């Protein structure tokens, strides 16, 4: 696009590569801040959405890739790269003031690669304990269990609360620490074992009476090292891992990884597989939203709604079980298509499910959406503006409830989505109620998508033939899919081997917890759980 080309001419020091709608801009580390702020703050194409930050170990250098997009031109993606030859104490400029989501992502890079960001207000590790030795995603990491044995004591509170900061002034490096909470603050722990944190999330909440003043989320209680494991697995072996990250919309995650690998192989996937995958994805989305609906209702005390949601979800589980073989973990997509053809009952059962679900959806609205107590709890609480949603990278239903059009199914249609007619659900108020009701609207829209596809599944193969050993050609591959919680992205860096060099998954849930941190301040502590329920994050997806 000409506007982006013009913009990039401003940076004479940058090396620019372009492939279709992907721009790749490499800059020296001294210029990273200046380049990033020019990209962020310009009038023609403001790159206001930071999709993800990928840390890289290139062998002799350590690097960072900022994946940017613009809410005005969401199909264009710009990768801003920089690297540092220093391995002992690598330092890079922090970009946390340009995007609200950058702070968290930079902490993740620090945790995995040991890169410290100058002027970053909080340079604690994000997932691992503060006393963990080594940086696991570096290529020379020593995974000997004797170095990091299983800890038997809880983490030291001082470790959690002392925040290291690093500043550079006139070439002089200053390191200091400050306290997260003041001595007279009243701090309450939520989690990691708490029935309503939707997983093992640990929130430390500072209260003034019952008003929330500050939230400090602590991740890593289910960090399973999936990205490092991917580097030791061949491509067909690593397919089961994304299923287990965001397990409630597992089929979609796995679909995304398959699409990324297929993109690299330039593999022609049969139309039949595309249709089947799309139907399974949409069923998965309905199952996920039903669970999300049940959980937010349960967070507000309505246990019956949860039982109703689970009852309808079981119908989808039955369909999954017949066709895919698994209930929760469908394990269905493979490279080149799907694992097995659909079950003879599949179409009949799906067609029975659609009118059933429509009827039940009406009942759900009648019982809970219209309930005055529920409305009182949800109306006017937890406002998230559109600008804030973009800056935080709160994709998916959360962003769409604030009026940010970010549906990847519309922006970059994949699989069978180009063939179907559907609306992107948008609301404008950005309140808890909007985030709640948009999920039910999306169920109705998903039913509409399935209805169009179910009778038109083309005949033919259900999977393309692949080689026994799959080697991805050298290069970077990036695939975006719309998960039930937002944008799920797969980034694969291949060096032509049968193992990937680096795999990064963008977790939509991670930015949602950051969103909770932003919107829950100044609300009552009783609403915290409900706000978390309305964002519907899944913690293993954050921790990976």
Partner 1 sequence: MDVKDIRIKNMKTEDFKENEYLEEYVRELRANGVNVVVSKLDDLINWGRSNSVWPLTFATSCCGIEFMCLGAARYDFARFGWEVTRNSPRQADVVFCCGTIVHKMAPVLKRLYEQMAEPKYVMAFGSCAISGGPFKKSYHTVMGVDQIIPVDVYIPGCPPRPDAMIYGMMQLARKIKLQEFFRLPKQPHPENQKEFTAAFNDTNENVEKGGNQ
Residues that bind partner 1 in the complex, under the rule CB under 8 A? 127-129, 136, 141, 143, 148, 150-155, 192-195, 199-200, 220-226, 228-229, 232-233, 240-241, 244, 247-248, 291, 306-307, 310-311, 313-314, 317, 327-329, 539-540
Least Cβ distance, residue 194 to partner 1 (angstroms): 7
CB of 151 to partner 1, least distance (A): 6
Asked whether the beta carbons of 255 and 246 are under 8 A apart, the reply is no
Residue that the structure tokens 């499910």 belong to: 353
Residue 121's φ and ψ, nearest 5 degrees, are -70, -10
Which residue from 486, 436, 402 is spatially nearest to 309, judged by alpha carbons? 436
Residue closer to partner 1 by CB (options 127, 491) is: 127
* Shortest Å distance, C-beta 308 to partner 1: 8
Q: Closest distance between partner 1 and the C-beta of residue 310, in Å?
A: 3
For residue 22 the two structure tokens come to: 């992907």
Least Cα distance to 489 among 74, 118, 47 occurs for: 74
**Could you give the CA distance from residue 153 to residue 121 in angstroms, rounded to a whole number?**
28
d(CA 269, CA 141): 37
Cis peptide before 192 (omega within 30 of 0): yes
Nearest-approach distance from CB 307 to partner 1, in angstroms: 5
| Of residues 251 and 430, the one with the C-beta less far from partner 1 | 251
Question: Closest CB to partner 1 among 154 and 169?
Answer: 154
Nearer to partner 1, 151 or 475 (CB): 151
Query: Which is nearer to partner 1, 169 or 193 (by Cβ)?
Result: 193
CB 18 within 8 A of CB 2: no
Instruction: Output the smallest distance, CB 22 to partner 1, in A.
Output: 31
In 3D space, the residue among 311, 239, 319, 259 whose CA is nearest the CA of residue 284 turns out to be 319
Q: How many CB atoms lie under 10 A from the CB of residue 139?
A: 10
User: What gap in Å lies between CA 270 and CA 463, rounded to an integer?
Assistant: 6
Residue 153 or 182 having the CB closest to partner 1: 153
Shortest Å, Cβ 299 to partner 1: 13
Residue 353 or 417 with smaller CB distance to partner 1? 353
> Whose structure tokens read 């026994």?
468
Nearer to partner 1, 244 or 517 (CB): 244
SS3 143: coil
Give CA separation, 20 vs 24, 76, 77, 158, in Å: 11, 9, 10, 49
Closer residue to partner 1 (CB): 360 or 381: 360
Smallest gap from residue 145 Cβ to partner 1 (A): 8
Nearer to partner 1 by Cβ, of 213 and 228: the residue is 228
Tokens 């609306």 found at: 423
Token digits of residue 445: 């829209």
Q: What angle do CA 436, 437, 438 make, to 5 degrees?
A: 95
DSSP label of 335: T
Q: How many C-beta atoms lie closer than 10 Å to residue 421's C-beta?
A: 7
Using the minimum distance from each CB to partner 1, give the nearer residue, 194 or 410: 194
CA distance 139 to 60: 10
> What's the chain's Rg over C-alpha atoms?
23
Would you state the torsion angle of the CA atoms of residues 312, 318, 319, 321, taken in this order, to the nearest 10 degrees? 140
Closest separation in Å from C-beta 302 to partner 1? 14
Q: Least Å distance between CB 537 and partner 1?
A: 13
Nearer to partner 1 (CB atom), residue 223 or residue 388: 223
Q: Smaller CB distance to partner 1: residue 141 or 422?
A: 141
Q: What are phi and psi of 84, to 5 degrees?
A: -135, 135
SS3 242: helix
Report the alpha-carbon distance of residue 423 to residue 225 in Å, rounded: 37
Closer by beta carbon to partner 1, 111 or else 442 = 111
Rounded CA-CA distance 526/34 in Å is 43
d(CA 93, CA 116): 8
Q: How far is the CB of 347 from partner 1 (least distance, A)?
A: 23
To partner 1, the closest distance from the beta carbon of 220 in angstroms equals 5
CA distance 107 to 125: 6
CA-based nearest residue to 443, from 537, 358, 351, 531: 358
């Amino acid at each position: 696009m000409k506007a982006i080309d013009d913009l990039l001419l401003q940076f004479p020091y940058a090396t620019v590569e372009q492939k279709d709608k992907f721009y790749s801009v490499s800059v020296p580390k001294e210029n990273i801040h200046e380049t990033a702020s020019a990209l962020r703050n310009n009038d023609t194409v403001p790159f206001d959405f930071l999709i993800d930050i990928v840390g890289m170990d290139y062998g002799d250098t350590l690097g960072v890739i900022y994946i940017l997009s613009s809410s005005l031109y969401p199909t264009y993606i710009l990768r801003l790269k920089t690297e540092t030859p220093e391995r002992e104490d690598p330092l890079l400029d922090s970009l946390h003031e340009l995007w609200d989501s950058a702070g968290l992502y930079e902490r993740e890079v620090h945790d995995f690669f040991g890169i410290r960001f100058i002027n970053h207000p909080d340079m604690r590790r994000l997932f691992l304990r503060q006393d963990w030795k080594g940086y696991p995603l570096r290529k020379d990491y020593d995974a000997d269990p004797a170095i990091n044995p299983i800890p038997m004591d809880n983490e030291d509170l001082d470790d959690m609360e002392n925040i290291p900061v690093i500043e550079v002034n006139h070439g002089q490096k200053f390191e200091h620490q400050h306290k997260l909470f003041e001595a007279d603050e009243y701090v309450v722990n939520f989690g990691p074992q708490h029935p309503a944190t939707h997983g093992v999330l640990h929130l430390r909440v500072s209260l003034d009476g019952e008003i929330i003043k500050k939230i400090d989320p602590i991740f890593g209680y289910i960090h399973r090292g999936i990205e490092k494991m991917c580097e030791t697995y061949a491509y067909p072996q690593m397919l089961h891992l994304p299923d287990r990250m965001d397990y409630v919309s597992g089929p979609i995650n796995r679909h995304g990884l398959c699409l990324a690998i297929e993109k690299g192989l330039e593999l022609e996937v049969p139309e039949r597989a595309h249709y089947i995958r799309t139907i399974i994805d949409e069923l998965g989305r309905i199952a996920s939203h039903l669970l999300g609906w049940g959980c937010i209702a349960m967070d507000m005390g309505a246990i019956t709604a949860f039982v109703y949601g689970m009852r309808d979800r079981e119908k989808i589980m039955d369909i999954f079980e017949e066709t895919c073989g698994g209930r929760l973990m469908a394990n269905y997509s493979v490279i080149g298509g799907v694992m097995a053809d659909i079950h003879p009952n599949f179409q009949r059962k799906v067609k029975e499910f659609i009118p059933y679900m429509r009827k039940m959806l009406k009942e759900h609205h009648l019982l809970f959406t219209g309930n005055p107590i529920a409305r009182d709890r949800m109306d006017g609480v937890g406002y998230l503006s559109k600008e804030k949603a973009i800056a935080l990278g709160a994709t998916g239903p959360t962003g769409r409830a604030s009026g940010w059009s970010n549906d990847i199914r519309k922006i970059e249609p994949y699989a069978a989505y180009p063939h179907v007619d559907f609306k992107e659900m948008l609301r404008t108020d950005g309140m808890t109620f909007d985030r709640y009701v948009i999920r039910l609207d999306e169920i109705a829209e998903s039913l509409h998508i399935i209805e169009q596809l179910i009778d038109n599944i083309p005949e033919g193969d259900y999977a393309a033939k692949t080689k026994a050993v799959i080697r991805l050609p050298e290069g970077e591959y990036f695939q975006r899919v719309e998960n039930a919680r937002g944008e799920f992205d797969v980034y694969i860096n291949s060096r032509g081997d049968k193992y990937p060099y680096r795999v990064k998954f963008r977790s939509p849930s991670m930015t949602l917890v950051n969103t909770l941190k932003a919107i829950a301040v100044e609300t009552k502590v009783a609403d915290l759980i409900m706000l978390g329920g309305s964002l519907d994050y899944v913690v293993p997806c954050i921790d990976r």
